[in-house]
C-alpha cells in the first residue's frame, strides 16, 4: 500500500466534523498501543514487517471529538488468498474494553474498510482474556464466532513481578533445577545479532525436521530482527556448550509485555537443558527493560489449569511435551477471546475455511 492510500484510510477512519486530520507517526501509534497495554502484533513495526511478506498494512484511527487524540486503533493486514481476499486484525483492535462507543466506531470502520477492499471476510482476534465484554456488540455488528483462530488461543503468561529470586521461586522445582544444571554443566549464553540469524535458522531447520513443524524462510527472521532490534524490542539469546551452538530464541518486548515467538534447539546435549537457561535469560532481559509479563506463546487449547498429571500429559504427544516445558516456568494459563469473522461473501468464505490449513499457513506469525 502506498503512503497516499494509507493517508486515505486514516482520513476516512478519523473523520471528525470539519477538523483537519493528520496521520499519526509510528511513535505516536506505538505510544497509544503501549498506553493501552496492547499487543506487539498491533505495533506499527509489525505492520511494516508483514508488509515485506505479501501483506498490505492499513491503520484505522478513532479520534476524539477534537480530532487530536486517538481513542482507539486497528491495524489491519490484507492479503490475497487462492479464493478471494481477507482482512485480518491480529490481537486488536486496541481500545479500552469498557469504551463501547469507541468500539462501536472501530467496528463500523472495519466493516466499511472490508467492503471497500472487496474482501471475502474480515477476521479480528481481540487481545482480551475469555469472552470479550463487547461480545454482544460484535454480534450486533454481524461478526460471528469463528471455529478457528490464527494466533494461539491459549498460552502461559509468566509474571515478572518481584526480584529474580521471587520469579524463580514461583517456578516448578524441576525447572529451577534444570536452569541451574545448565549453568553448572558449562552452558553459556551470549546475545546474538543480525550476523547470527543464519545460525538461528540452521537450528530452526533442524527442529523442523525433528519435530515436524512449519517455519518461515531465513529472510523472515532477518527482517523481524532488523525492524525490532534497533528499538530494543527484540533479543536473540544463543546457548553454547563450548563452541557448539545448542539452542536459540528470538523474543520480543513492547511496553510492559514480552513474547517468546521463535525458538529452536539442536538434538545434541539436550541433557544439559539449554532451553531452560535460555528462557530464563530472556525473562531477565524482559524484566530489566521494564516488562511485567512474559508470554510463552501457545499451548494446547485443551490444557487445564496446570495441575495435570505430567506423565499422562506426555503420553498424548504433539504439543503436550511443549506444554509440560512451558508449564514449569510457573505462569498461569490464559485463554484469549474467540476469533470473530465478518463475512462479505458466504460462498467464498465457506470455500476458504474448508482450506483452513493453507489459510493459517499464510497468516500465522
pLDDT per residue over 48-78, tens digit each?
999 999 999 999 999 998 888 999 999 999 9
Same domain? For 139 and 265 the reply is no
Query: What is the domain count for the chain?
Result: 2
Same domain? For 176 and 203 the reply is yes
- With contact defined as beta carbons under 8 Å apart, do 176 and 263 qualify? no
Same domain? For 189 and 319 the reply is yes
Alpha carbon distance 39, 45 (integer Å): 12
Same domain? For 248 and 307 the reply is yes
Span 299-343, pLDDT tens digits: 988 887 555 555 555 555 566 778 999 999 999 999 999 999 999
Per-residue pLDDT, 307: 56
List the domain range (segments joined by +) for residue 252: 154-335
- Cα 232 to Cα 134, 217, 224, 260, 286, distances in angstroms: 34, 23, 12, 15, 10
Same domain? For 34 and 131 the reply is yes
Same domain? For 20 and 133 the reply is yes
Same domain? For 211 and 175 the reply is yes
Same domain? For 125 and 176 the reply is no
Same domain? For 140 and 259 the reply is no
Beta-strand ranges (E) seen in the chain are 56-63, 70-80, 85-90, 121-125, 144-145, 154-159, 187-191, 234-235, 237-241, 244-254, 257-265, 293-295, 332-335, 340-343
Per-residue pLDDT, 357: 56
Query: CATH number for the domain including 76?
Result: 3.40.630.30
Alpha carbon distance 64, 70 (integer Å): 6
More confident position, 275 or 13 = 275
Per-residue pLDDT, 202: 98
Same domain? For 132 and 196 the reply is no
Same domain? For 175 and 280 the reply is yes
Q: What is the DSSP letter of 272?
A: G
Residue 11 has pLDDT above 50, yes or no: no
Same domain? For 91 and 107 the reply is yes
Amino acid at each position: 500500500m502506498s503512503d497516499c492510500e494509507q493517508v486515505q484510510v486514516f482520513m476516512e477512519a478519523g473523520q471528525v466534523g470539519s477538523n483537519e486530520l493528520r496521520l499519526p507517526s509510528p511513535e505516536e501509534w506505538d505510544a497509544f498501543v503501549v498506553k493501552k497495554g496492547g499487543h506487539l502484533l498491533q505495533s506499527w513495526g509489525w505492520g511494516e514487517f508483514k508488509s515485506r511478506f505479501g501483506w498490505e498494512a492499513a491503520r484505522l484511527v478513532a479520534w476524539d471529538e477534537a480530532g487530536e487524540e486517538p481513542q482507539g486503533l486497528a491495524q489491519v493486514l490484507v492479503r490475497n488468498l487462492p479464493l478471494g481476499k481477507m482482512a485480518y486484525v491480529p490481537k486488536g483492535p486496541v481500545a479500552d474494553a469498557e469504551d463501547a462507543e469507541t468500539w462501536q466506531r472501530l467496528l463500523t470502520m472495519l466493516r466499511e474498510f472490508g467492503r471497500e477492499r472487496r474482501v471475502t471476510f474480515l477476521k479480528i482476534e481481540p487481545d482480551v482474556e475469555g469472552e470479550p465484554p463487547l461480545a454482544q456488540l460484535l454480534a450486533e455488528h454481524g461478526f460471528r464466532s469463528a471455529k478457528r483462530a490464527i494466533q494461539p488461543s491459549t498460552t502461559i503468561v509468566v509474571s515478572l513481578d518481584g526480584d529474580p529470586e521471587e520469579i524463580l521461586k514461583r517456578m516448578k522445582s524441576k525447572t529451577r533445577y534444570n536452569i541451574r544444571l545448565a549453568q553448572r554443566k558449562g552452558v553459556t549464553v551470549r546475545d546474538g545479532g543480525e550476523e547470527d540469524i543464519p545460525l538461528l535458522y540452521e537450528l530452526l531447520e533442524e527442529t523442523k525436521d525433528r519435530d515436524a513443524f512449519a517455519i518461515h524462510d531465513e529472510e523472515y527472521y532477518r527482517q523481524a530482527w532488523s525492524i525490532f532490534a534497533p528499538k530494543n524490542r527484540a533479543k536473540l539469546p544463543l546457548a553454547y556448550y563450548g563452541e557448539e551452538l545448542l539452542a536459540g530464541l528470538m523474543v520480543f518486548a513492547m511496553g510492559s509485555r514480552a513474547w517468546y515467538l521463535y525458538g529452536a534447539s539442536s538434538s545434541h546435549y539436550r541433557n544439559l537443558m539449554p532451553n531452560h537457561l535460555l528462557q530464563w535469560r530472556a525473562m531477565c532481559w524482559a524484566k530489566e527493560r521494564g516488562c511485567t509479563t512474559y508470554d510463552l506463546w501457545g499451548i494446547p487449547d485443551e490444557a487445564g489449569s496446570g495441575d495435570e498429571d505430567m506423565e499422562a500429559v506426555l503420553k498424548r504427544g504433539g504439543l503436550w511435551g511443549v506444554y509440560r516445558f512451558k508449564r514449569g516456568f510457573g505462569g498461569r494459563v490464559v485463554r484469549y477471546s474467540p476469533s470473530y469473522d465478518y463475512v462479505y461473501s458466504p460462498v467464498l468464505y465457506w470455500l476458504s475455511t474448508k482450506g483452513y490449513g493453507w489459510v493459517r499457513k499464510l497468516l500465522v506469525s
